[in-house]
Amino acid sequence: MSNDNTSLRVERRVPRQADRDPAGFLRKRRIIEVSLAIAFPVLLLLLWQVAGSREWIDRRFYPPPSDIIGEIQRTFQDNPKGNWWVHIWVSVKRMLWGYGWGVIAGLALGVGMGMSRKLRATLEPTLNALYTVPKLALIGIFLIVLGFDDKPLIAVIAVTVFFFVWMQSMHAVMSVPEQLRETARSFESGRVQLFRHVIFPAALPEIFLGLRVSAGVAVLTLIGAEFVYAPGLEGIGYRINNARTVFDPLQAYVGLFVAAILGAIFVSVIKVIGKLVAPWASDDRTVL
Amino acid sequence: MISVKRSLGAFAERKQYRGGDLVESVVDVGRPSGAPEDKIVARGVERYFGGKKAQRIHALGPLDISVRDGEFVCIVGPSGCGKSTFLRMVAGLIRPSEGEIEFTTRRSVQPTAMVFQDYSIFPWKKVLDNARYGLDIQGVPRKEGNKIALKYLEKLGLAERARSWPDTLSGGMKQRVAIARALTIEPEILLMDEPFAALDAQMRQILQDELLELWQADRRTVLFITHSLEEAVLLGDRVLVMSARPGRIIADIEIPFERPRRAEVRESPEFANVTAQLWRLLRQEVEKSRPTSSTEQNVPSDGEGEGLR
């Protein structure tokens, strides 16, 4: 069959450097990935810096990073414009309370509705309708009902967080594979045991995805709500909004910086907790 | 396909991009280095998985295998012995860590086609479009592609389902589509990785019979991985038995039944003898691999390996 040598080709599958030295390859790849992850934001900041210091953009509105870093240092060392720590603490308290209530309610309804058809039939249409109501618009109602302190803020955050947690945990419970449920039922597990041994752990990784998303949402809602209403004239959102009204963009950037750090910390804390309580779930392979 | 001719002469080295992966090949206008009737020659092939030295797993090798042109070779071995890894290396999906696999080919387009165990049929393409996939990739005009694809669907009794969505097919039919898809590019080497393992026993037997007949009609080179010894004995000209990890060839058995073979050969006493002989060889390897089977999950079949493509 292979007489026609002129048209014969020989192909070879041979190892590449990466196949001979996988450790070196993985190390190199990791170095490249980490460098890229760092290089991109650094590049953006550099561009901003250059654009600001060369006055390509208006320095008063868009102060370059160096100005902002200087302002952050001054703000937190000498408190020339009021103690930021007080505002941060007040905001964190509001956020945690709101997040906590939202998570509790969202988990309860989400898991309950995931497990019971009847409960789902009763509540789902109503909740779906309420889901699209802009929560910030509720702040006026909450003010009247709950009074002029932190409670309306907490309520707005809780309601917003609730919808995210509810939706994700209901979906998580409903998508537990039938095979796992049947395995548990074949051992005559009751409803409670079924929940404890199978449904809850099976849904946990996805539930935590919802908790992570809503952690970010809690920060967003907090800042937004404090723009509208800030009892005692305290809070990160209030400071950002106030900086705008008194035309102090640097302070606004400090506020944005604080909010970003707060959000990043909060989301990673939830992520770490999720890893601790659901160690079997596969890791999403983030570089940093 | 981009190809760059580096140098001219008896050997012209060529780098090709095929399916996004770099395939290094040597265009040989002389003779292949093995025996002239050899289609695939593996020399000293080894594969490790895992990055760091301490965690590296020696998955298989060193392997020396040669497969003659037009031969049907089955590979059996305990789970985790690296038989699928070998097949993936022949297909060019992963590279060996050491050694080389060489094959002669008469064509410049894809010489191998692979049939996977399961889940390889694209649910968003109708049966005909699935079967035509390889031809689409090669840029064959759709009309012509449809004709070829239909021809093979017909051979596998699927012509009437050409316009169906895969989800409406049974498992056996899906695997037939996968086989048709591999055959439409008329590969010189057909690679089959436990293609019937996910089917029920009866369907499995039916597809074995069909494959036997189909293959005997055109006799292309086949490398066939299986767990079923009966399947190997029924289909193969030769059965290679692999050891527990790291997989090596511990036996190379010629199957004595003549061609064309009929499915009834299953009922002969000799069939039982050959199968039993294979089982004796394999059994100790399977048992050997048992205590270490807890480490089996550490072999990343595509995870880490994927990164090294």
β-strands B72-76, B112-115 pairing: unpaired
> Residue A11: enclosing H or E segment and its boundaries?
strand A9-13
Comparing CB atoms, the residue among A5, A13, A27 nearest residue B95 is A13
Residues from chain B that touch A20, judged by Cβ atoms under 8 A, are 97-98
Residue in the structure block whose two tokens are 């699209």:
A132
Question: Are A14 and B97 within 8 A, CB to CB?
Answer: no
The alpha carbon dihedral of A206, A208, A213, A214 has a sign of positive
pLDDT digits 0-9 by tens, A214-225:
999 999 999 999
A25 Cβ partners below 8 Å, 6+ apart?
A17, A18, B51, B307, B308
Q: Report yes or no: A204 and A278 within 8 Å, Cβ to Cβ.
A: yes
Comparing CB atoms, the residue among B31, B52, B97 nearest residue A15 is B97
CA–CA gap between residue B155 and residue B216 (Å, rounded): 13
> Angle CA(B78)–CA(B82)–CA(B88) in degrees, nearest 5?
135
Chain A interface with B: residues with Cβ < 8 Å? 1-2, 4-16, 18-20, 22-23, 25-27, 29
| pTM exceeds 0.80 | no
CB atoms within 10 A of CB A192: 8
pLDDT higher at A195 or B292: A195
CA–CA gap between residue B87 and residue B203 (Å, rounded): 24
A122 residue type, one letter: T
| DSSP-based three-state secondary structure for A218 | helix
CA–CA gap between residue B6 and residue B18 (Å, rounded): 17
Lowest mean pLDDT among A144-153, A203-212, B13-22, B25-34: B13-22
Q: How far is B10 from chain A (nearest CA, A)?
A: 11
Give me the pLDDT at residue B284, please.
84
ipTM comes to: 0.70
Strands (E), chain B: 3-5, 11-18, 21-28, 38-49, 57-68, 72-76, 98-105, 112-115, 189-193, 221-225, 238-242, 249-254
Residue A13 reports pLDDT greater than 90: no
Question: Are A13 and B26 within 8 A, CB to CB?
Answer: no
B298 Cβ partners below 8 Å, 6+ apart?
B50, B55, B57
Residue A93 reports pLDDT greater than 60: yes
At B289, list the tokens.
């691999």
Residues recorded for chain B: 309
Residue A90 reports pLDDT greater than 50: yes
Give me the pLDDT at residue A284, please.
58
**Integer CA distances (angstroms), A189 to A103, A118, B82, in order:** 28, 21, 40
Q: How far is A23 from chain B (nearest CA, A)?
A: 4
At A96, list the tokens.
């945690």
Give me the pLDDT at residue A39, please.
96
DSSP conformation class of B132: T
Mutate to test the interface with A, among B25, B40, B189 (most CBs of A within 10 A): B25
The sheet carrying B57-68 orders its strands as B3-5, B11-18, B21-28, A9-13, B98-105, B38-49, B57-68
Q: Residue ranges of chain B with pLDDT lower than 70?
A: 1-36, 108, 290-309
What share of chain A has pLDDT > 70, as a percent? 94
CB atoms within 10 A of CB B252: 12
Give me the pLDDT at residue B68, please.
92
Q: Which of A23, A153, A172 is nearest to A91 (CA)?
A: A153
**Integer CA distances (angstroms), A61 to A52, A108, A236, B144, in order:** 10, 46, 20, 63
Question: Are A22 and B50 within 8 A, CB to CB?
Answer: yes
Question: Are B108 and A9 within 8 A, CB to CB?
Answer: yes
Give me the pLDDT at residue B34, please.
63
